[in-house]
Structure formats: C-alpha cells, structure tokens
Structure 1
Amino acid sequence: MRIGLFIPCFIDLFYRDVGIATLELLERLGHSVAYPEAQTCCGQPMGNSGFIGECGPVEALFVRNFDSFDAVVCPSASCVHHVRNKSNLPRELRARTYELVEFLHDVVGADKLPSATFPHRVTLHNGCTALRSLGHESVPELNVAFFSKPRALLARVQELELVETERADECCGFGGTFSVSEQAVSARMGLDKVTRQARSGAEYVVSADMSCLMHQAGSASRHGLDLQFIHIAQVLNA
C-alpha cells in the first residue's frame, strides 16, 4: 500500500521523534511511505473556531499533497477527525484518511505488528476525540460490549505492563483552544488527571494523542510528579 504520511503541525515542530516512529513503524509493515514536504496545517484550529470557509486554501493544498495515495495516515485523532468529519475535503479522500491506531488495528491487524519490547509499567490515556469520535475504545456512558483498539495493539508489546488509572476516560483539560480560553479550568483538570495517573504506579503514560500528552507533561512537571509521557507509535516501534 502506498501511504501518505500526514504529520500535524505541533508534532512536526515539537515531537519529531513521534513522526519518525510512525514512519518507521509503517515501513516495517512493508508499506511504501512518503512525506509530502509541502504539507501544512489541515485547518483544524480555524475550523474549531468556526471559520470553516477560511479553511479552503489549506484544504486545497491537502488535496494536492495527498490525493494520489492509497491511504493517508496521521498520528493524531483530532486532526483526522477534522479532516474526515468536519472539513469540506472530497468524500473519497476523507474516507481513506486514518488515524494511526485505527489503521494498525482495523486495516493492518494487531497480529501483523512487528515485534516490540518495552519493559515498563504504563497507563493508557485515550484522548476525547479518539475515544468518542473515532471509537478507539468503548465508553462507559454507552451500553456496549467493552473493546479497546490501543490495548489490543499494546498487548503485542513484550514486557509491557499495563496498569489502570482511575476515571481514565475523563478529559485531561487540554481541548485545543479550550486550554487558552479556559486556562484555570484546563490547568486544574490537567492536575487531576496526572495525579490519578501517578497514583496508578505507572512509569509512562502512553497515548495516541501527543497534544493531550503535551498538556499532561506540563502539569506533571509543574507539580513534581515522576511520570514520563510517550506516544503509542514510539512504544509499538520500540
């Protein structure tokens, strides 16, 4: 499969190791992966603020960058949610744009993952968009049988111990522009989240959403909590 690698702005600027791990993981699965160097923001910040019409130029660029690929894969649920469910991009291109976890679980299959070893105790954080918009895991407010795509992937990693965080499905307070417009509420939600994570006994917090981890890492650092934060691509590629 010929894959176009869609890397969010903040990962490109601050967490390039996550983009590299995503690339290496997809290549280890035997796919041909290309990174269109002309890619820019997908338009999510503007779209979330109500400026859907102003997203037109970046959406046109997205089409030019990614229309020729069999699939577009991105290590960020919120960006994929915007592209797939909120943008004015062509329907066919939206349908073949995948977040990394759902691509590995739904398209590739967990049993096809390359071997990985991560000898640490970790706890899982599912971002709100991954949980409630992309269906990474069943949510407690719905009466459905339990399932978890990231847990199925992490179960393939040798020597990894998964521990539970109390009320793990609750928002960490980041919420994109919410953390700017409601700074005090966001900061308190972040503190509550990382306090519960530290109480779990985990060494690492793993998530498919680096934006959530950025917020949580800042909160943990400010309050002196001994936690490390890592994207699931880095664990699966370890």
Structure 2
Amino acid sequence: MIQISRTIRIYFFRNGSSELLKVATLNFKKNDSSLYIIPYARNNSYRIGQKSFAQHDIEATLKFNENETSENIPHLSIHNSGQVHVRIPQLNQIIGPCKIPSFSRLNGEHVASITCDSFDALQIEEENKKHKNSQRIAIKIGDNEESRRVLICINGNEERFVVEDCYSYFHVKHKPEGLKNPVWVGIFSIPQDRLNAPDVEPGVTIISGWDPTDRSVKQEDFLYIRGL
C-alpha cells in the first residue's frame, strides 16, 4: 500500500467560469520523492501500455489496443531512482519499467506529459467538492482554445526548469520525511490543436519514460495511461 502524503489536483478552467475541468492528479509519498500520476477518466476506463518513438520526432501518433483496457485505476510511477512504470495496484500488475536519470541527476528536464485530446474529454468537478490533504492547481484556458497539454519537469537540486514557450506554470516543492534534499516539480501548460478525429472518443493521456538528458539514442521507449 502506497502511503500518500500530498496530492496535487490539476484542473483547467475558462475565464469567467467557475467550472473546473478535471485533468489529472499528482501524488507524493510520505517518505521518498516518488511521483505518481493518474489521469482523470470520465467513463472510468483506461488504456495502458508501452510504445516507442524516434528521438527527434516532434509528433507521434498513438494507436491504442482494446486488449490493454482496464477498469481499475492505474498510476504512472516516476521513482527517485529513475525507474518509471505503470502499475495497477488492485491487480498487482506492472507494465515497464523504463529508465530515466535519477532525480539527483535531473536539472529541470521534461519527464512526463499529460495531454487532453480536447476539452470534451474532461469531466466537470462537482461544485464545492472538498478533497482532504490536497492542493488545487487551476490553469486558465483561452476562449478559442480546443486542447492543452501539461508538461511535468523535475529538478532534484534547485528550483529551475528547462522549458520554453509555456503560458502557465506552477512550481511544487516536495520534502519527504527523513530525506535531506527536496525535489522540485514544475507544472507547465501549452495550448494545442484538437487531437482526436471526430469519430474517436477523446481522452486524457499521460506518457513518460524517455531519457530527457540523452540525445544520442535513436529510439525512445515510453509508457502511457489513457483515461476515457
């Protein structure tokens, strides 16, 4: 059982609206720097798996296999050691791992992305709903925007991040019990075009597992969770 000490809930909202659109949760453990990310799924259905892409590709198309479906809530784990995997706690099932540098070797690089195909994929938070031991991060979206992605960056040494052209950002400092140094997590957001075709159900997808510090490899593996 993972002992969660802190939860960050990420939402989008439109200017002038009180409605919060649920994107994902980030969970931190009590006694280490591990980070657990879960996408919201309005239909409580998930696709999980592992794929690869060319290192210098700016865009990649993901095709999801129906056999990878789960109705149990998975989380994408990014551990202080650099191990990344997808785990379904209810089934004790693990997919991966992939390997990134340990947090002490990360200096603000982009290690995970959370992408919504369109805002139609997002469920509205219940009005006045309270969450214990959680922090809310609400990112404003423009009137003409169709979609956004959220970049997760990690720095195990200082509050500094390697990102550009981001419209919204938040910095989170996590100091686990018994550990000397905190870890800094940067949460950045970028508008993008709608991603899903009209006949494809929109979802929220988390990907992670590539090494952001090594540009010499030709092919990168990554893990994903897609919430529908």
TM over 0.5: no
The TM-score, its normalising length taken from structure 1, stands at: 0.23
- Specify which structure has the higher proportion of helix: 1
The structure with higher relative contact order (CA 8 Å, sep 6+) is: 2
- Specify which structure has the higher proportion of strand: 2
